[in-house]
Amino acid sequence: MSNGAVAATTAAGAAAAAAMARATKAMGAIVQVKPEVFLQLLAKTESSLVIGAKGIFWNRNFKYLTNVKGFFFYTESPSVLPLGSAELVWAEKIWIPS
């Protein structure tokens, strides 16, 4: 590999890392919790909006995301969670920066 190719690969990796950092800053803190904790948080709020998505391919879990007091809470479950009175919006995909 030439020095130019190495520099281009390094620059692409740095750009990807910077994009992930910007995405995390834009979204704020995302807290992953167990499904039981997620349901407890929903029970403590008066009106909740939950985004849900069904995993595809190798990860078929149901994924859920909600906002409580400025924090985003995320969980995965092998089955549909009983969300009570929370408003549920199904998305095609939930992507969480790692």
CATH number at residue 73: 3.30.720.90
- Total tally of structural domains belonging to the chain: 1
User: What's the pLDDT tens digit per position in 61-89?
Assistant: 999 999 998 899 999 999 999 998 999 99
Overall pTM surpassing 0.75 (yes/no): no
- Cα–Cα nearest to 76, from 60, 91, 97, 92: 60
- Domain-embedded: residue 5: no
- The answer as to whether 10 is a domain residue is no
Give dist(CA 10, CA 38) in Å, integer.
39
pLDDT of residue 65: 96
In this prediction, residue 23 has a pLDDT band, given cuts at 50, 70 and 90, of: low
Q: Which of 54, 64, 72, 67 is nearest to 88 (CA)?
A: 64
